[in-house]
């Protein structure tokens, strides 16, 4: 890619798509509401009656330091509640404000860090672009609307990637261990340690994560064994209520949610749309899906280890598997795409053939797409479109990388 399209211009194009996507979603919601439709048709965010409740629910069952026995909604790993504990020292409303201020400030600082090499060329339009991304992009709005503890995990994964990119492997191992102790799926990043042959740091990461989890379980009320038992019960309840039903399908960017969407369409054609039928179909498909998900991750990991040399692409590929492959993956997880996007803006190598494709794939993932194709069973295009965009991202990166890898090997043979 020639330097005629600079990172600054890319940022403006990205923010323009975000602005247009936001405006279209607002007009659509208003148009739908004008005809008498209420939630979920008249908003691209979650139920207004449940706004911010991810935060307040977590606050309520963390303040007594007894989350697993207090609520079956407590499905995070124990270290999450240990790290979240400082937020429950003060009142819930003030804590919520502080939590979101920290989250937004961190995103701005993260942006400033990753784009420091292009800041000298910045003007008013570039800072206005940052404002649009912060306050109009769908993943950030969804994170603010829910107040989910995923926002806290986002901070640690970001710090891990910064440390790893700067070759501070021991620090990055500790940061990743904390992230894994908060929720399991950041474990995908151990692939980066394998790629760099940092096996000792990998062991440090896994051991520290295990120790942190046991330490957190020990500190929680009820004792270690009882907390483990209560946690496993919560996971079972989560599977019954979210994984296998319609409840865990909306606002989800998981491939399994797309499968459930097609199951619903089949059931609608057969005039058998009901919760029991969907549950039965989803339960029968789930074991096969798990095998396919593990296979997909294995292939992506193998490609990263053997072929891909560009850091932002490796980070993006792992983050995409982290979003796509879990059985339920709510849209606040799209916030993680900010990290490879910032890395993309700050990249050193340009490829005219693919960079504009990457830019618009990033942008399209950051706009609301809650447009309904079936009002009867409440199906929106957002789940399927987001999944297709992310799968397209993976395939484009792998194709681009394989072509580069093949050309590189051919040049070596000629030499």
Q: HEC profile for 148-188? A: CCHHHHHHHHHHHHHHHHCCCHHHHHHHHHHHHHHCCHHHH
In this predicted model, what pLDDT tens digit does every residue of 105-129 receive, in sequence order? 998 888 878 776 455 555 666 677 7
Specify burial of residue 375 (Cβ count, 10 A radius: 0-12, 13-18, 19+): exposed
CB 360 within 8 A of CB 17: yes
In this predicted model, what pLDDT tens digit does every residue of 371-395 receive, in sequence order? 887 767 677 888 889 999 999 999 9
Per the listing, tokens 């395939």 go with: 395
- Greatest C-alpha distance within the chain: 70
Q: In 3-state terms, what secondary structure has residue 361?
A: helix
- What letter does residue 44 receive in the DSSP assignment? S
d(Cα 66, Cα 408) in Å, to the nearest integer?
56
In this predicted model, what pLDDT tens digit does every residue of 33-76 receive, in sequence order? 888 888 888 888 988 888 999 999 999 888 888 888 887 778 88
Q: In 3-state terms, what secondary structure has residue 113?
A: helix
Is the link from the previous residue into 40 a cis peptide, with omega within 30 of 0?
yes
Q: pLDDT at position 98, please?
A: 95
Q: What is the dihedral of CA 8, 9, 13, 16, to 10 degrees?
A: 70
Specify burial of residue 240 (Cβ count, 10 A radius: 0-12, 13-18, 19+): middle
- Which residues fall within 8 angstroms of residue 214, CB to CB, at 6 or more apart? 224
CB 390 within 8 A of CB 331: no
Band the pLDDT of 250: cuts 50, 70, 90: confident
CB 21 within 8 A of CB 370: no
Triad 60, 63, 68: Cα angle to 5°: 75
CB 244 within 8 A of CB 283: yes
Calculate the average pLDDT of the chain.
Answer: 87
- Rounded to the nearest 5°, which phi and psi values hold at 374? -145, 115
Band the pLDDT of 2: cuts 50, 70, 90: very low
Q: Is the pLDDT of residue 261 over 60?
A: yes
Q: pLDDT at position 317, please?
A: 97
Q: Strand pairing partners for 380?
A: 372
- Rounded to the nearest 5°, which phi and psi values hold at 379? -100, 125
Q: Where are the beta strands (DSSP E) in 8-57?
A: none
How much of the chain exceeds pLDDT 70, in percent? 91
Q: At what angle do helices 138-146 and 53-62 cross, to 10 degrees?
A: 40
Q: pLDDT at position 1, please?
A: 40
Q: In 3-state terms, what secondary structure has residue 21?
A: helix
Q: Closest by alpha carbon to 17, among 365, 352, 371?
A: 365
Q: How many CB atoms lie within 10 A of CB 337?
A: 22
Q: pLDDT at position 5, please?
A: 64
d(Cα 360, Cα 364) in Å, to the nearest integer?
6
pTM here? 0.91
Taking the chain, what is the end-to-end CA distance rounded to the nearest angstrom?
26
In this predicted model, what pLDDT tens digit does every residue of 200-224 receive, in sequence order? 999 999 999 999 998 988 888 877 8
User: Both tokens of residue 148?
Assistant: 């989910």
Q: Is the pLDDT of residue 25 over 50?
A: yes
Q: Is the pLDDT of residue 289 over 70?
A: yes
**Mean pLDDT on 160-169:** 94
How much of the chain exceeds pLDDT 90, in percent? 47
- Helices of type H across 198-337: 199-219, 224-238, 255-269, 275-306, 311-324
Q: pLDDT at position 404, please?
A: 75
Alpha-carbon separation of residue 104 from 16, 51, 143, 328, 332 (angstroms): 20, 18, 10, 25, 14
**Mean pLDDT on 240-255:** 82
Q: Closest by alpha carbon to 179, among 332, 346, 355, 322?
A: 322
d(Cα 387, Cα 382) in Å, to the nearest integer?
8
């Amino acid at each position: 890619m020639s330097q005629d399209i600079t990172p600054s211009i890319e940022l403006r194009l990205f923010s323009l798509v975000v602005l247009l996507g936001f405006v279209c979603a607002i007009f659509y919601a208003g148009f739908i509401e004008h005809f008498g439709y209420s939630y979920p048709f008249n908003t691209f965010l979650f139920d207004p009656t449940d706004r911010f409740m991810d935060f307040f629910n977590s606050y309520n069952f963390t303040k007594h330091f007894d989350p697993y026995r207090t609520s079956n909604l407590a499905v995070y790993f124990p270290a999450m509640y240990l790290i979240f504990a400082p937020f429950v020292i003060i009142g819930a409303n003030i804590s919520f404000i502080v939590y979101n201020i920290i989250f937004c400030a961190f995103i701005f600082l993260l942006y400033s860090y990753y784009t420091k090499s292009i800041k000298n060329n910045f003007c008013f339009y570039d800072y206005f672009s940052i404002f649009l991304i912060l306050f109009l992009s769908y993943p950030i709005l969804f994170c603010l609307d829910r107040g989910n503890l995923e926002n806290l995990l986002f901070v640690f994964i970001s710090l891990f990637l910064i440390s790893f990119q700067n070759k501070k492997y021991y620090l990055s191992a500790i940061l990743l261990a904390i992230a894994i102790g908060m929720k399991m799926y950041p474990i995908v990043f151990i692939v980066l340690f394998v790629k760099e042959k940092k096996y000792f740091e990998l062991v440090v990461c896994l051991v520290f994560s295990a120790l942190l989890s046991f330490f957190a379980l020990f500190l929680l009320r009820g004792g270690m064994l009882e907390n483990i038992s209560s946690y496993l019960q919560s996971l079972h309840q989560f599977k019954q209520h979210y994984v296998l039903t319609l409840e865990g399908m909306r606002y989800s960017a998981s491939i399994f949610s797309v499968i459930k969407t097609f199951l619903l369409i089949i059931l609608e054609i057969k005039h058998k749309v009901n919760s029991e039928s969907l549950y039965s179909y989803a339960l029968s498909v789930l074991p096969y899906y798990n095998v396919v998900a593990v296979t997909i991750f294995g292939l992506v990991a193998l490609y990263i280890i053997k072929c891909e040399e560009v850091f932002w692409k490796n980070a993006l590929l792992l983050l995409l598997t982290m979003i796509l492959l879990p059985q339920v993956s709510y849209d606040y997880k799209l916030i993680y795409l900010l990290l490879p996007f910032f890395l993309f803006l700050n990249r050193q190598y340009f490829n005219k053939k693919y960079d504009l494709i990457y830019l618009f794939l990033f942008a399209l993932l950051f706009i609301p797409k809650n447009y309904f194709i079936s009002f009867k069973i409440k199906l929106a295009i957002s789940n399927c479109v987001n999944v297709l965009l992310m799968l397209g991202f993976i395939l484009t990166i792998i194709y681009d990388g394989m072509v580069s890898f093949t050309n590189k090997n051919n040049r070596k043979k000629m030499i």
